[in-house]
Chains A and B, each alone.
Chain A
Amino acid sequence: MLNNLWGGMILLAIVVALFTGNIPALTNAAIESARDAITLCITMLGIMSMWAGLMTVAEKAGLVQALAHRARPLLRYLFPDLGKDHPAHEPIATNFIANILGLGWAATPSGLRAMKVMQEENPQKDTATRSMRMFMVINMSSLQLVTISVVAYRMQYGSANPSEIIGPGLIVTAITTVIAVAFCKILDGLEHSKERISAPVREKNIRFQSANVRGVRS
């Protein structure tokens, strides 16, 4: 995907520059950007080395596993379909905690394993289960507590207080994760009531639930 995106961006720049008469500016922009990129990487080398070092201390001390163990009650709430002590719990928790700590390299393998384990019990192999949906939406709601790379970029561009955005970022991240969970729980509830309508159970409930279903479709 980046192949087309990158090539497209540069070709678009050249085409637009032909129309706007900005062709002479392109050369300087290309050369200056290339130089700035390396200056930035030099700043990042220090900050990212420090952070990755600290996170490795946490990893080697077993902090990820310890937190994953503590998270089990929460996992039971988020994934009721999986039941108690499901084999997917461990990779799910590892993925969440690695994401929270910003350990990208540990997050992806455990995330893929979680999906694979959940797929084994999936009756419809081409359709996501409720647990998969919950896992994916939380995963994509942004979990990372400290985005150290943004702090490094701000420092490189001369911010007076590069880390001042950590607090607000943390609060927004927490709220979006709650929204992600609420979205999935509400959808679970709506689908559940829809399934129950198709089976003739109690007449009183049917009228109430069909109102719900109409609400979803509109």
Chain B
Amino acid sequence: MSQVILFLSDLIIPLTFAGILMYAFSKKVPVYDNFIVGAKEGFLTVFGIAPTIVGLMVAVGMLRASGAFDMLSYLVSPLTNFLGYPTEAVPLTLMRLVSSSASTGLLLDLFELHGPDSFLGRFVSVMMSSTETVFYTMSIYFMSIKITKTRFTLAGALLANFAGVALSLWITNYLY
């Protein structure tokens, strides 16, 4: 089973290429021209978010150097030890719900400290791919149509994200 899951990882990008290209050929769409148009957009997107990444990585880097994360880890370690949750991942887990770019800063900080192929690095990679910025999304969508009573929408979103965190930890344990 774990072999299948890891094989899926190797397969998905070639499969995506194959599927999209075959579909585009069947619709007689100029594939390379469109690829160039999109690649330029992707290039400009990264160019556009570069200042955000600089800003947030500086803030996260300073926070780490100040010792604030160590203090937070010390404070939450009784709880995380009890739950069997990696203490280092606590700031990222919380920030993930609020801001996508700020949590990216924290993710990169963990990669630098522990390496992307460590247990922690793999766990946070899976977690980042299967959780969402709940508070940000909620506020944008509901504010756009002025809804204030959301009838447990937040509870449902938090439940799904909590499950995402727990399952990421479980699957990383299972695979590695």
Contacts and interface: CB of A to CB of B under 8 A. Distances in A.
Interface of A: 1-2, 5-6, 9-10, 12-14, 16-17, 20, 22, 25-26, 28-30, 32-34, 36-38, 40-41, 44-45, 48-63, 66, 108, 111-112, 115-116, 119, 124-128, 130, 132-133, 136-137, 139-142, 144-147, 149-150, 153-154, 156-173, 175-177, 179-180, 183-184, 187
Nearest to B118: A159
Interface residues on B, range: 35 or more
Contacts of A124: 149
From A6, A13, A173, A184, residue with most partner B Cβ within 10 Å: A13
Interface string B123-134: 001101111101
A5 to B, nearest CB: 6
A12 B68 contact: yes
Q: Is the interface of B mostly helix, strand, loop or mixed?
A: helix
Contacts of B101: 2
Contact of B35 (A37, A38, A54, A170): A54
B53 to A, nearest CB: 5
A52 B41 contact: yes
Contacts of B140: 108, 112
A150 B128 contact: yes
Given A13-B62, A29-B64, A57 B24 contact: yes
Contacts of B171: 168, 171-172
Name the residue in B5, B9, B149, B172 with the highest tally of chain A Cβ atoms < 10 Å from its Cβ: B9
